[in-house]
Structure 1
Amino acid sequence: MAKILQIETATSVCSVAISINGETKFIKEEIGQNLHASKLTLFIDEVMKTAGLSYADLDAIAISKGPGSYTGLRIGVSTAKGLCYALNKPLIAIETLKMMAAGFITQSPEYRGLVCPMIDARRMEVYTSVFDIKLNIVEETSAKIIDENSFETYISNQIITFIGDGSSKCSATLTASNAKFVNHNFNSAANMSQLAYNQFKSKSFEDVAYFEPFYLKDFVLTQPKKKV
């Protein structure tokens, strides 16, 4: 059996799950600002204890690789790499937007349109891509500033459902009848399970020494405002 520890920290969600042969068995997650540094290792210990597993029992560690929050990704990937080094286990990296789309498709088996996961960046910018219901990439991942003409190639002739924490701010702009919005959290480690298992079976592992998160955009350090 493939027992995989799965970690998602790309957004404000801190999520940890354990899957066995592609099925989520145990999960612990919480949504909030600045949770990852203080909660992630605690959540990992909790799900391991709940599952009755030792760390040596794991077959791999899977991490949501981004795009997303620079700080969240850095914490998640550092933790996953540390576990892989200590346990001599392989590292599996799952593209965050694909994980989100997989979660929506699993929960909506009758759906036949396109899926557009969105991660909030800033103002009207989102990290986004477009998938069909078989998780084939229709539009590659990019940082996109949303206006009324965004995705018009798809919206004009088929239903496209927007999901993720970046989608809600776009609903007032993307008003075509074919544009649908689902207000639900898909940034969950539970949504990695089948993707991680597929990569485990194909031995699609990362080089632990050199793997870096997919930040998509460079981190920009800003100076705090001076108090008057």
Structure 2
Amino acid sequence: MNILAFDTTATRLSVGFMKNGNLEGFATAEGLRHAEILISAIEAALAKAGSSLGETDLFACSRGPGSFMGLRIGLATAKGLSLATAKPWVSVSYLDAAAAAYKGEDLAVPLIDARKNRVYASMYRKGLRIGEYLDIPVSGLIEALAQGDRVSFLGPDAELVRDYCAERAGFTILQEDPQAAMAAMCILAESTLALEGSGSPESGPMYLREPDIG
């Protein structure tokens, strides 16, 4: 299966094209300019893979939690490409993808900046989520982690806990491999399609709070 996936969860935009289980095209850019550059990033990833939209079997985007506007842009793009090509689309959580790409034994905690000293996070053991998706103060997340537990912080904004890692034994920040995370996102997308079918026109982002207005 050929899968085109794009993550618009955080400030970094990533696009990956997987062909028969191999990530053959990848493009990324920094900065909250997803509306301006998503299509060009998709074109770049397809070009690197030597493929095209017409050869894509499945489109995948980020479900959330994450940037309010970024998630809406990703969902609208996935729905539009699905409609234009008559191919299915799905959405998955980038937190799940980041955790699935991690191969260690520690408790994995991917982080996305939620602003105002808060993070979107969840906890995983061997790729399986334990508990709910969280919108939580950074200090509250640290307090929620058991003393003595070995924890690997992942994701695009793991640096937000750098000071805490310096103070607490067993806490580690792992540099994220965006390509590995995109490959995991593609694999999750394929399994989501098998379990849930294609997304519907009414499907929306997963928000953990109301958007800030004003």
Cα distance in structure 1, aligned partners of 2:178 and 2:152: 13
2:40 is paired with a residue whose SS is helix
* Cα shift at 1:94: 1.2
1:162 is paired with a residue whose SS is strand
Cα distance in structure 2, aligned partners of 1:78 and 1:189: 19
Q: Does 1:166 align with 2:157?
A: yes
Q: 1:150 to 1:36 in 2, by over 3 A?
A: closer
Cα distance in structure 2, aligned partners of 1:160 and 1:40: 33
Count of residues paired in the alignment: 212
* Cα shift at 1:14: 1.4
Residue identity in the other structure for 1:181: I
Residue identity in the other structure for 2:161: C
Q: Which structure has the larger Rg?
A: 1
Match of 1:225 in 2: none
2:206 is paired with a residue whose SS is coil
Match of 1:36 in 2: 34
RMSD after superposition: 2.1
Counterparts of residues 105-144 of structure 1 (less than 5 Å): 105=102, 109=103, 111-133=104-126, 135-144=127-136
Which of 94, 97, 117 is matched with 2:95 structurally?
A: 97
Cα distance in structure 1, aligned partners of 2:155 and 2:49: 29
Cα distance in structure 1, aligned partners of 2:13 and 2:157: 17
Q: Which sections of structure 2, spanning at least 5 residues, go unmatched? A: none
1:209 is paired with a residue whose SS is coil
Q: Could you tell me the TM-score, scaled by structure 2's length? A: 0.89
1:155 is paired with a residue whose SS is coil
Cα distance in structure 2, aligned partners of 1:125 and 1:54: 39
Deviations 1:61-105 (A, max 9, x none): 0112111111111111111110011111111211111111122x1
Q: Does 1:195 align with 2:194?
A: no
1:28 is paired with a residue whose SS is strand
Cα distance in structure 2, aligned partners of 1:47 and 1:166: 23
Residue identity in the other structure for 1:88: A
Q: 1:64 to 1:22 in 2, by over 3 A?
A: farther
Q: Could you tell me the TM-score, scaled by structure 1's length? A: 0.84
Cα distance in structure 2, aligned partners of 1:152 and 1:219: 26
Cα distance in structure 2, aligned partners of 1:185 and 1:52: 22
Cα distance in structure 1, aligned partners of 2:189 and 2:135: 25
